[in-house]
Structure 1
Amino acid sequence: MAHHSSFESLAIYKEATLFSDAILEIICNTSLNKDYKLREQINGSSGSIMDNIAEGFGRGGNKEFIMFLSYSRGSCSESKSQLLRCFRRNHIDESTFNKLNNDAENLINQLSKFINYLKSSERKGSKFD
Structure 2
Amino acid sequence: MKFKFENLLIWQKAMEIGEDINLLSEKFPNKEIYNLSSQIRRAVDSIALNISEGSIGQTNPEFKRFMGYSIRSLAEVVTCLHKAYRREYITEQEFNKYYEASFNLMNMMIAFRKNIK
The corresponding residue for 1:52 is 50
Shift of 1:106: 0.9
In structure 2, what is the Cα distance between the partners aligned to 1:27 and 1:58? 30
In structure 2, what is the Cα distance between the partners aligned to 1:82 and 1:111? 19
In structure 2, what is the Cα distance between the partners aligned to 1:49 and 1:98? 20
The corresponding residue for 2:17 is 19
The corresponding residue for 1:87 is 85
Could you list the per-position Cα deviations for residues 22-72 of structure 1 after superposition, in whole angstroms to 9, with x for gaps in the alignment?
1011123x1x15112100000000000000001100113211000000110
In structure 1, what is the Cα distance between the partners aligned to 2:64 and 2:53? 11
Could you list the per-position Cα deviations for residues 87-120 of structure 1 after superposition, in whole angstroms to 9, with x for gaps in the alignment?
11111000100010111111111111001111xx
In structure 1, what is the Cα distance between the partners aligned to 2:59 and 2:108? 19
* Number of residue pairs matched by the alignment: 114
Which segments of structure 1 move beyond 3 Å, counting only runs of 4 or more?
Answer: none
In structure 2, what is the Cα distance between the partners aligned to 1:22 and 1:5? 23
Q: Does 1:97 align with 2:95?
A: yes
Alignment of 1:1-129 (within 5 A): 5-28=3-26, 30=27, 32-34=28-30, 35-36=32-33, 37-118=35-116, 121=117
Look at both structures and tell me which one has the larger radius of gyration over its CA atoms. 1
Shift of 1:9: 1.1
Q: State the one-letter code of the partner of 2:101.
A: D
In structure 2, what is the Cα distance between the partners aligned to 1:96 and 1:62? 36
Query: TM-score, normalising length from structure 1?
Result: 0.84
The residue matched to 1:16 in structure 2 has which SS? Answer: helix
- Aligned-pair Cα RMSD in Å: 1.3
Query: TM-score, normalising length from structure 2?
Result: 0.92
